């Protein structure tokens, strides 16, 4: 697969670096670093794009300015891309109305665009847009999501001591956070692992928005952290000690 990643700053750079460091066999990854600032109104996208962009199958748009969305139809035309991933990790970078407009523009080119919110909700056949689960069918996006997106782990543990001895990352978050969390969980008690996964995610740190998002009534960063914790929780659930508390003064009916 030929992947073109559009970046503007630290957010995108972290992701493209992680993709390159863990590149699946057969992938080619190119990066176009867009201008750090863009005009409020873009009349001629070609004036802001390089003279040539590499032929690509999939475009991953990691811009930090809504103007990047206005460039994507021309990027698709120049590269011949057949699908676009435009994640929403911050609403100000991809407002809802602009996402609808971009979808309409690319539909005219018969190219689908996908808006996982957050990016680390992307799996091989679905992703989140806020609290809603969107099911999709696209071979290129599924191929990307096989390796980068919703974190997926295999946890190895010492059952006798109930400690984690190793964590295999089957699918990393695009930013590399899952690998960081996996390394930090080695030696951690199983009963503490879910909490520690959330703390490690926070310390990475996640670059998603920290303001309250109307779709979640929470921050996108916290939602991302919960996704990370869920990936660990699914693996350790059979081994976690479940504590039950009896309220003071309550008498068991069998007594």
Tell me, yes or no, whether 23 lies in a domain.
yes
Q: What is the pLDDT of residue 245?
A: 54
Confidence band, pLDDT 50/70/90 cuts, at residue 130:
confident
Instruction: Report the alpha-carbon distance of residue 206 to residue 197 in Å, rounded.
Output: 13
On whether both 99 and 194 belong to a single domain, the answer is: no
Q: What is the pLDDT of residue 238?
A: 86
Which domain-ending residue is among 62, 92, 115? 115
Tell me, yes or no, whether 120 lies in a domain.
no
Tell me, yes or no, whether 32 lies in a domain.
yes
pLDDT at 18 over 60: yes
Give residue 28's domain range.
Answer: 2-115
Q: What is the pLDDT of residue 47?
A: 76
Tell me, yes or no, whether 143 lies in a domain.
no
Q: What is the pLDDT of residue 239?
A: 85
Kindly write down the DSSP assignment for every residue of 34-100, as one continuous string. Answer: --S---SS-S-GGGTS-S-----SEEEEE-SSTHHHHHHHHHHHHHT-SEEE---SSTTTS-HHHHH
Instruction: Report the alpha-carbon distance of residue 126 to residue 107 in Å, rounded.
Output: 20
Number of domains in the chain: 2
On whether both 12 and 103 belong to a single domain, the answer is: yes
How large is the C-alpha radius of gyration of the chain? Answer: 21
Instruction: Report the alpha-carbon distance of residue 145 to residue 101 in Å, rounded.
Output: 25
DSSP 148: B
Which domain-ending residue is among 87, 115, 143? 115
Among residues of the chain, what percentage have pLDDT more than 90? 80
Tell me, yes or no, whether 61 lies in a domain.
yes
On whether both 157 and 110 belong to a single domain, the answer is: no
Longest Cα–Cα distance in the chain: 82
Q: What are the pLDDT digits (tens) for 78-97?
A: 999 999 999 999 999 999 99
Tell me the average pLDDT of the chain: 91
Q: What is the pLDDT of residue 48?
A: 77
CB 125 within 8 A of CB 137: yes
Confidence band, pLDDT 50/70/90 cuts, at residue 116:
very high
Instruction: Report the alpha-carbon distance of residue 81 to residue 58 in Å, rounded.
Output: 5
On whether both 29 and 82 belong to a single domain, the answer is: yes
Residues making up the chain, counted from first to last: 255
On whether both 173 and 92 belong to a single domain, the answer is: no
Tell me, yes or no, whether 145 lies in a domain.
no
Tell me, yes or no, whether 166 lies in a domain.
yes
Tell me, yes or no, whether 62 lies in a domain.
yes
Report cis status (omega within 30 of 0) of the bond before 133: no
Report cis status (omega within 30 of 0) of the bond before 118: yes
On whether both 78 and 179 belong to a single domain, the answer is: no
Q: Where are the alpha helices (DSSP H) in the chain?
A: 10-21, 67-79, 96-108, 139-145, 177-185, 190-203, 220-236
Q: What are the pLDDT digits (tens) for 37-80?
A: 776 667 677 777 898 999 999 999 999 999 999 999 999 999 99
Which domain-ending residue is among 63, 87, 115? 115
On whether both 168 and 80 belong to a single domain, the answer is: no
């Amino acid at each position: 697969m030929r992947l073109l990643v559009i970046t503007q700053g630290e957010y995108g750079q972290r992701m493209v670096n992680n993709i390159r460091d863990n590149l699946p066999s057969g992938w080619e990854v190119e990066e176009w670093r867009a201008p750090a600032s863009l005009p409020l109104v873009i009349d001629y996208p070609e004036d802001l794009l390089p003279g040539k962009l590499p032929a690509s199958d999939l475009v991953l748009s990691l811009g930090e300015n809504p103007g990047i969305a206005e460039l994507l139809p021309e990027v698709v035309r120049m590269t011949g891309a057949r699908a676009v991933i435009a994640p929403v990790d911050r609403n100000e970078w991809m407002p809802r109305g602009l996402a609808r407009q971009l979808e309409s523009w690319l539909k005219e080119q018969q190219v689908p665009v996908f808006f996982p919110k957050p990016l680390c909700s992307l799996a091989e056949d679905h992703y989140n847009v806020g609290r809603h689960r969107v099911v999709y069918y696209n071979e290129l996006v599924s191929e990307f999501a096989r390796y980068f997106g919703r974190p997926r782990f295999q946890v190895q543990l010492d059952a006798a001591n109930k400690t984690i001895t190793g964590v295999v990352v089957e699918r990393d978050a695009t930013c590399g956070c899952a690998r960081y969390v996996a390394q930090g969980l080695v030696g951690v008690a199983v009963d503490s692992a879910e909490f520690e996964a959330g703390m490690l995610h926070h310390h990475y740190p996640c670059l998603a928005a920290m303001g309250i998002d109307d779709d979640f009534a929470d921050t996108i960063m916290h939602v991302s952290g919960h996704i990370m914790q869920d990936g660990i929780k699914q693996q350790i659930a059979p081994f976690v000690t479940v504590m039950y508390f009896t309220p003071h003064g309550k008498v068991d009916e069998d007594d």
